[in-house]
Chain A
Amino acid sequence: MMDTNIGNVAGRKAFVRLQFGPNWNYIATVRIFVMNFLAITLEDKKKADVIAMAVNEMVENAIKYSNQACIEIHLDVFEGDKTITVMVGNHATRESYESFTEILDEISARPPLEAFLERMRVSSSGPDRKSMIGLARIRYESGAKLSHTFEDGYLRVYASFDS
């Protein structure tokens, strides 16, 4: 059912809501859409590129961790372009959530550059699914704050881009 109040958020300049099936082939299309949307919305085009990269990495993770056929994306740009938030949601098992939490905690415990370098080292020797190099990349390249919630088998990963 459509949320008719979706447009009524104080201080918000623009928003996108997307849902799509967890097919890897759609990710590039989503990334390019987000990049074009933000290129219109933001004055800083480099910021549009960086956030589109972040969405790409978040969606890739969502598809890897999803156990059902729906990925959800919420993108909100607030007045002045000072704050942009992204939420990517997917159904996940508790095991996947716990694995995700463990790695995100490791990444968040280090400064962004150090965490990215460490994930590069880990990723060159371990299985791709466990490396989560994308999360460290988001933190370092975009400066985003990352958080997540897990409720009723649904994992939501949030990135907040403040400037």
Chain B
Amino acid sequence: MAHIDIPSFSLDKVTIRVSDHDGVPCVVFSGMMDVRDPSQEVLPYLLSIHQRIISGGIKRIRVDFSDLSFMNSSGIRSVISWVVKLNDLPAESRYRITIVHNPEITWQQSSLKVMQQLLPDHIELEKH
């Protein structure tokens, strides 16, 4: 079973943790993400997950936003800054991301779909 050993992360109103979903690592966002500059703390945490995925040879993960009621554009920016790192990896190190979204939460209907369009080779969407 693929496993990422990293403590959960909380800042202001957002919590990020890594759980397991049927043997697939799942990065779970919950709360509200509206910090001013996520590049200071949120992005380094996401990139540390990214490094663990690569070093663990993991080929597929889930990123679950379904319990995140709001994300500001700076938060979107930090998630994109993580995911575009996939473009820098050799093909054998790349992994696919299934983004889990909640159709009842308005921002997720649009922003996450655009994120998937930005990186269609790396991201697929799944309804919660």
A residues contacting B by CB (< 8 A) are: 24, 27-28, 31, 46, 49-50, 53, 56-57, 60, 113, 116-117, 120-121, 123-125, 128, 131, 133-134, 137, 140-141
Contact = CB atoms under 8 A, between A and B. Distances in A.
B10 to A, nearest CB: 16
Contacts of B118: 117, 120-121
Contacts of B73: 57, 60, 123, 131, 133-134, 137
B111 A141 contact: yes
- Interface residue range, chain B: 20 to 34
A128 B76 contact: no
A50 B72 contact: no
Given A31-B70, A121-B118, A128 B37 contact: yes
Interface string B11-36: 00100000000000000000010101
B55 interface: no
Nearest to A49: B106
